[in-house]
Chain A
């Protein structure tokens, strides 16, 4: 279950509106802002795919200029892959070289 720290940058005049929208989003934890349009957020999702989608959703919020990643941890997901509990999708090609 990946966890990431983000600095989300918005136009300073939009900060309240954007904070409200972000605050209502699932899996987004806000830790305040610096008064210059930088919002501190922690994202905690079920899978990396959910994380990617969530970041895209954040980028689409009106007033958001960028979501800057600062820290990312996916040790849980990697461990699950190692234990065989989670198999990432294979690529989308046709015939594998060595059919299992």
Chain B
């Protein structure tokens, strides 16, 4: 790089950064022509969390070389994090899968085959299984990282083509309890408000979320709000582990894992006892319910119920640093702030009582009226870029069809069949296996062929050794579509290489109901193909092998379209124009043409082009903001809770009794084990582990131990520690650190090394409502095995 070019890039970097904070630098903006010399900028979003950061990818000579934020974007205001900065390195990485690979037996090595052969095998194996063992002997397991077009087309072929609802995805492992919470509390899935509330809030209640590391760009917005209004804005961080998120907190509530239900009830107790409720809001919009039969009770009954959760009693249950005074203080802050935003992620969702925990946060918002107004929201943060858009909205779970339709509702199922032009009765009325039941069915030999797309259950399922026995069965045929080898490709018979982000076109829908388009900017390496092409070509072969023209009909509208743009656009059009029409996530205004014009996409509902071009709905259910609130208005009240699950059009305050975790520490396994992320790595590290910079920063997982526990057990920093549960064990270096509460240990779950895969140890108990596993809490024991040992980082390569 010549000096002038280099100086020019440095100037651009300085000017870009300065423009974010409204500073004028004494640098001339000369040389713009040089800037554009050879570099083209392509629109898209980051794919390494659920925030939905808008990025432009700079491409020079066909290679991704630069990234910049987009200041007009309402998700990230232009800011990016380090994971986002380095993801361009995955394009063209030497480990990328570039050819279809096949082996008949899992004991054989893979051999390269052509796409024609691969698709024939994929079709033949699924067809054989359907003919011999029935439609429910096949399954699809997808991902919150798949584009909406991909999830939609996969589930369409599975349901209307292969006539099975065995359609699941990894959002079951992270978001299902949030879905259950929103539906049972508010009557409709997904948040009412938007990130826009972060700049208006007066109180942040961050519970079960290490926002600073898992959602750094959103954390930056929260932090900025706090810094600019230090005395006015309160930040409460509630978590059994002190994390980098705690550093801006006015109060950190550190409780024993799983006891937060009692704490949340105690906050409600204080709010009512001190007369801090919003009586008008409750009277107009809320009802109180209890039990499986959703029995309606009155406010007095709720008050009576809460008497079991006085701050004094709750503080005894919660342990840690929780005192009655702390509970009283945060309850007052929450209720009287003038605008409270709650934020949470897996600490709330990945629980035996995840739905209830979600309900209890919503309860606080309902009784204080902290909803539907600027600066107030109950906002579940998403971990993956398209868990909301693709899986929750696109029909990617076993019980839901596209656009929030329940499989079991005949009317809704028939609507979908009619819209797809397939005979009524084609989609089975019974939901398929949820994730844990699906992999149990694999173990039992009931599922004979499965397609895993863009995820790695062999590492990410709780108690994974148990389920990997099923994946290893020779009578179980496994297809994996991915960009890199993973722990799951080790069990595959057929591996199909796919295009990565910016190597294909499609839509991601992030946390705040916002859909954004990423367009193809660079070619995929080797023979890697977009999933939409793979599914279309596979479905045509399935129609042939099963002699079933209806299967062909599922992809007929897309036949012959080129795969980089026309094909995903046609799939998006079918989904948005036909399937979302008249539904609460109406996306008809959000065409590719509109999405291509917007700095930051469109928030649904957005039924018309004109409305979508204004950005869509910032606050759901509020007349004047949400067109459906006006359309479905039944009275002159400003808020209309038209969600499909609550025919009474009310918000439901739930009387959910306190229940602890499934597995409590005891004499044999005296510690709580919890798991989570570290800033450099994402999920199973199949991507971030291949970015040398990130891997070297965190080459292997640690076990975090509270200093008091470490001292008692004679464990020093770096010592090798065995962590064991009733299910499995790991051997990890110790990080002695005032992070986890005393009596709890914490392990990062990204590491692929056999001895450090913590999901061998976690428990596969799951929430009876959401079916989401309780990754966050189980009982374990720890012991020092040796002093520090030299360790090697590890990533799977194909053998």
In contact, A7 and B21 (Cβ under 8 angstroms): yes
A36 and B18 CA atoms in complex are apart in Å by: 13
A70 and B20 CA atoms in complex are apart in Å by: 8
The residue that A6 contacts in the complex, of B10, B17, B23, B690, with Cβ under 8 A, is B17
In contact, A70 and B60 (Cβ under 8 angstroms): no
In contact, A92 and B23 (Cβ under 8 angstroms): no
User: Which chain A residues numbered 36 to 84 have a C-beta less than 8 Å away from chain B?
Assistant: 36-38, 40-42, 44, 48-49, 51-53, 55-56, 65-66, 68-76, 78-79, 81-82
A68-B693 contact, Cβ under 8 Å, with A40-B23, A44-B10: no
A9-B227 contact, Cβ under 8 Å, with A69-B82, A96-B798: yes
The contact string, 1 if C-beta is below 8 Å from chain A, for chain B 61-75, is 101111111000000
Most buried by A among B16, B58, B94, B224: B16
A78-B794 contact, Cβ under 8 Å, with A40-B18, A73-B13: no
Which of chain B's residues have a CB closer than 8 A to the CB of A32? 18, 23, 25
The residue that B794 contacts in the complex, of A49, A53, A68, A93, with Cβ under 8 A, is A93
In contact, A5 and B13 (Cβ under 8 angstroms): yes
The residue that A97 contacts in the complex, of B65, B109, B695, with Cβ under 8 A, is B109
Which of chain A's residues have a CB closer than 8 A to the CB of B794? 92-93
- B interface size (C-beta, 8 A): 73
Which of chain A's residues have a CB closer than 8 A to the CB of B220? 9, 66, 68
* B711 beta carbon closer than 8 Å to chain A: no
In contact, B66 and A29 (Cβ under 8 angstroms): no
User: Which chain B residues numbered 217 to 233 have a C-beta less than 8 Å away from chain A?
Assistant: 217, 219-220, 223-224, 227-228
A48-B86 contact, Cβ under 8 Å, with A32-B23, A92-B795, A93-B794: yes
* B634 beta carbon closer than 8 Å to chain A: no
B497 shortest CB reach to chain A, Å? 12
A85 shortest CB reach to chain B, Å? 13
Most buried by A among B6, B84, B797, B799: B797
A55-B82 contact, Cβ under 8 Å, with A66-B219, A92-B792: yes
The residue that A42 contacts in the complex, of B1, B10, B109, with Cβ under 8 A, is B10
A72 and B83 CA atoms in complex are apart in Å by: 12
A42 and B224 CA atoms in complex are apart in Å by: 21
A8 and B346 CA atoms in complex are apart in Å by: 29
Which of chain A's residues have a CB closer than 8 A to the CB of B20? 7, 38, 68, 70
B219 shortest CB reach to chain A, Å? 7
Which of chain A's residues have a CB closer than 8 A to the CB of B67? 71-72
A3 and B58 CA atoms in complex are apart in Å by: 13
A53 and B697 CA atoms in complex are apart in Å by: 8
In contact, A3 and B799 (Cβ under 8 angstroms): no
Which of chain B's residues have a CB closer than 8 A to the CB of A52? 82, 86, 693-694, 697
A97-B110 contact, Cβ under 8 Å, with A52-B694, A69-B85, A78-B63: yes
B47 shortest CB reach to chain A, Å? 16
In contact, B18 and A56 (Cβ under 8 angstroms): no
Q: Which residue of B lies closest to A50 (CB)?
A: B693
The contact string, 1 if C-beta is below 8 Å from chain A, for chain B 128-155, is 0000000000000000000000000000
In contact, A97 and B89 (Cβ under 8 angstroms): no
In contact, B799 and A95 (Cβ under 8 angstroms): yes
The contact string, 1 if C-beta is below 8 Å from chain A, for chain B 585-628, is 00000000000000000000000000000000000000000000
* A23 beta carbon closer than 8 Å to chain B: no
* B389 beta carbon closer than 8 Å to chain A: no
A2 and B61 CA atoms in complex are apart in Å by: 17
Which of chain B's residues have a CB closer than 8 A to the CB of A29? 10, 14
* B692 beta carbon closer than 8 Å to chain A: yes
Q: Which residue of B lies closest to A43 (CB)?
A: B13
Which of chain B's residues have a CB closer than 8 A to the CB of A36? 21, 227-228
Which of chain B's residues have a CB closer than 8 A to the CB of A91? 95, 689-690, 795, 797
A47 and B17 CA atoms in complex are apart in Å by: 21
A92-B793 contact, Cβ under 8 Å, with A3-B13, A71-B17: yes
* B630 beta carbon closer than 8 Å to chain A: no
Q: Which residue of A lies closest to B86 (CB)?
A: A48
A41 and B9 CA atoms in complex are apart in Å by: 13
In contact, A96 and B797 (Cβ under 8 angstroms): yes
A11-B227 contact, Cβ under 8 Å, with A68-B220, A71-B16: yes
The contact string, 1 if C-beta is below 8 Å from chain B, for chain A 6-38, is 110101100000000000000001011010111
A65-B797 contact, Cβ under 8 Å, with A42-B14, A70-B79, A72-B67: no
A31-B14 contact, Cβ under 8 Å, with A72-B85, A89-B692, A92-B795: yes
The residue that B12 contacts in the complex, of A7, A55, A71, A95, with Cβ under 8 A, is A71
Q: Which residue of A lies closest to B97 (CB)?
A: A97
The contact string, 1 if C-beta is below 8 Å from chain A, for chain B 780-799, is 00000000000011111111
* B546 beta carbon closer than 8 Å to chain A: no
Q: Which residue of A lies closest to B12 (CB)?
A: A71
The residue that A34 contacts in the complex, of B9, B22, B227, with Cβ under 8 A, is B22
B25 shortest CB reach to chain A, Å? 5
Which of chain B's residues have a CB closer than 8 A to the CB of A65? 223, 227, 247-248
In contact, B68 and A70 (Cβ under 8 angstroms): yes
Which of chain A's residues have a CB closer than 8 A to the CB of B63? 78, 82
In contact, B227 and A76 (Cβ under 8 angstroms): no
A5-B21 contact, Cβ under 8 Å, with A69-B82, A78-B65: no
Which of chain A's residues have a CB closer than 8 A to the CB of B6? 1, 3, 76
Which of chain A's residues have a CB closer than 8 A to the CB of B18? 31-32, 40
Most buried by B among A32, A36, A91: A91
Which of chain A's residues have a CB closer than 8 A to the CB of B17? 5-7, 31, 40-42, 70-71
Q: Which residue of A lies closest to B484 (CB)?
A: A91
Q: Which residue of B lies closest to A82 (CB)?
A: B63
A56 and B216 CA atoms in complex are apart in Å by: 14
In contact, B692 and A49 (Cβ under 8 angstroms): yes
A41 shortest CB reach to chain B, Å? 7
In contact, B69 and A70 (Cβ under 8 angstroms): yes
In contact, A51 and B693 (Cβ under 8 angstroms): yes
Which of chain A's residues have a CB closer than 8 A to the CB of B692? 48-49, 88-89
Which of chain A's residues have a CB closer than 8 A to the CB of B61? 79, 82
Which of chain B's residues have a CB closer than 8 A to the CB of A92? 689, 695, 699, 792-795
The residue that A37 contacts in the complex, of B80, B227, B798, with Cβ under 8 A, is B227
* B39 beta carbon closer than 8 Å to chain A: yes
Which of chain B's residues have a CB closer than 8 A to the CB of A5? 12-17
Which of chain A's residues have a CB closer than 8 A to the CB of B110? 97
Q: Which residue of B lies closest to A4 (CB)?
A: B13
A88-B65 contact, Cβ under 8 Å, with A73-B9, A73-B58: no
In contact, A69 and B81 (Cβ under 8 angstroms): yes
A90 and B15 CA atoms in complex are apart in Å by: 35
* B696 beta carbon closer than 8 Å to chain A: yes
Given contacts A70-B79, A90-B94, 8 further A-B pairs with CB under 8 A are A3-B9, A5-B14, A41-B17, A69-B81, A69-B84, A91-B689, A94-B799, A97-B101
What 10 pairs between A and B have smallest CB-CB spacing?
A5-B13, A93-B797, A5-B17, A52-B693, A75-B65, A97-B798, A71-B16, A73-B66, A91-B795, A68-B79
22 contacts between A and B (CB under 8 A): A31-B25, A34-B23, A36-B228, A40-B23, A42-B13, A48-B86, A53-B693, A65-B223, A70-B20, A70-B79, A70-B80, A71-B13, A71-B16, A71-B67, A72-B80, A76-B1, A88-B89, A92-B689, A93-B795, A93-B796, A96-B797, A97-B110
Listed in ascending order, the chain A residues whose CB lies under 8 Å from chain B are 1, 3-7, 9, 11-12, 29, 31-32, 34, 36-38, 40-42, 44, 48-49, 51-53, 55-56, 65-66, 68-76, 78-79, 81-82, 88-97
Listed in ascending order, the chain B residues whose CB lies under 8 Å from chain A are 1, 6, 9-10, 12-18, 20-23, 25, 27, 39, 58, 60-61, 63-69, 78-82, 84-86, 88-89, 92-95, 101, 109-110, 216-217, 219-220, 223-224, 227-228, 247-248, 485, 689-690, 692-697, 699, 792-799
